[in-house]
Amino acid sequence: MDADSGTEAGLRGHVAVGVDGSRRSGIALEEAVAQARRRGLPLEVVHGRPWSALPEDGGLGWEGGAGTAAEGPVAHTRSRDEARRLAEAAAGRARGLAPGLEVRASAVDGDAADVLVELSRRAALTVVGSRGLGGFRGLLLGSVSLRAAAHVEGPLLVVRGELPPEHERVPRGTVLLGLEGEDDRAAAEAAFEEAAVRDAALTALHAWVYHHLAPPGEPLVPTGPPRRDIARIGRSEEMMAEWVLEPFRERYPQVPVRVEVVSGAAAHLLVEASEEADVLVVSAHRGRGRLAMRLGPVVHSLLHHARCPVLVMPAARGSGGER
């Protein structure tokens, strides 16, 4: 991946945002500005597109990631100079939103998902809109966004396209953490940090499902031993959740924490709870090996249906240690 400007390898500890001139990438830009201001970090504004696939003097590309003729051609930035101007215009808007914020602009040659993955290697936080135009089209509903979320190496904040701009949202004062298991320590730490910089409370929601097949003639609602088994499992799940959160409670004593351990489908419960949250933090669990690098059904559902921005934290299975 070749950078035209402002992407030197030494850049660290910053917020990065992918832009393409669309309304939804503008919403992501505003969110990235807010994130950079909260953390006291510089902002890198990046426009990415694969110029190598198009003539330098301009041309037409195919939509977002599927690249099929049935989707029809869409206009991209026609040259590197135009791409740089787009990035600089977005950076200028960021400076207007936050005077004094250090902002850099970059135009990058590369596939949209690859650009996002590369940004995630260098940035403290990478921000993207749900769907846009040009180099970052389809970042939520298409294959590009799902591939990026499945492969990023650092925190990725996906700003849902249906959301209003950051300055028009009513703060809920709540960060929501979707807690699956003991592999979610990175997501837990990110959720505590989000709550701290937002001066918000943290709600950790852990959903679990009791798999019980009743023999013919038995009631569907468990009684007797099965009910006691459910109660025992519930207590065990509560202990697991508290064990994961305990070190971060000590590290962030200023963050009020509420833990909800419920039996039910995680995706549905988190989508419903996201209605009252400012941001939802969740782990993207990945197995080891190339074929396992993909999103699970819960994260996939949240990226499509959550009612607040979704912060995806990469996590490898088996990284949680032992209780």
| Mean pLDDT within 11-33 | 85
Query: What's the CATH superfamily of 172-280+293-308?
Result: HUPs (3.40.50.620)
Q: One-letter amino acid identity for 34?
A: A
- Kindly report, residue by residue over 58-116, the tens digit of the pLDDT: 433 222 333 333 333 334 556 788 888 999 999 999 999 999 999 999 888 877 778 88
Among 2.60.40.10, 3.40.50.620, 3.40.50.300, 3.40.718.10, name the CATH number for the domain at 2-167. Answer: 3.40.50.620
**For position 287, what pLDDT does the model report?**
58
**For position 225, what pLDDT does the model report?**
57
The full set of domain ranges for the chain reads 2-167, 172-280+293-308
Q: Which residues contact 291 (CB under 8 A, 6 or more apart)?
A: none
CA distances from 184 to 188, 217, 283 (A): 6, 40, 6
Q: In the numeric block, which tokens belong to residue 26?
A: 């503008």
Q: 110 and 46 in contact (C-beta within 8 Å)?
A: no
Per the listing, tokens 């003097």 go with: 57
How far is residue 269's CA from residue 212's CA, in Å, rounded to a whole number? 20
Q: 32 and 43 in contact (C-beta within 8 Å)?
A: yes
- Kindly report, residue by residue over 197-222, the tens digit of the pLDDT: 999 999 999 998 765 545 555 555 55
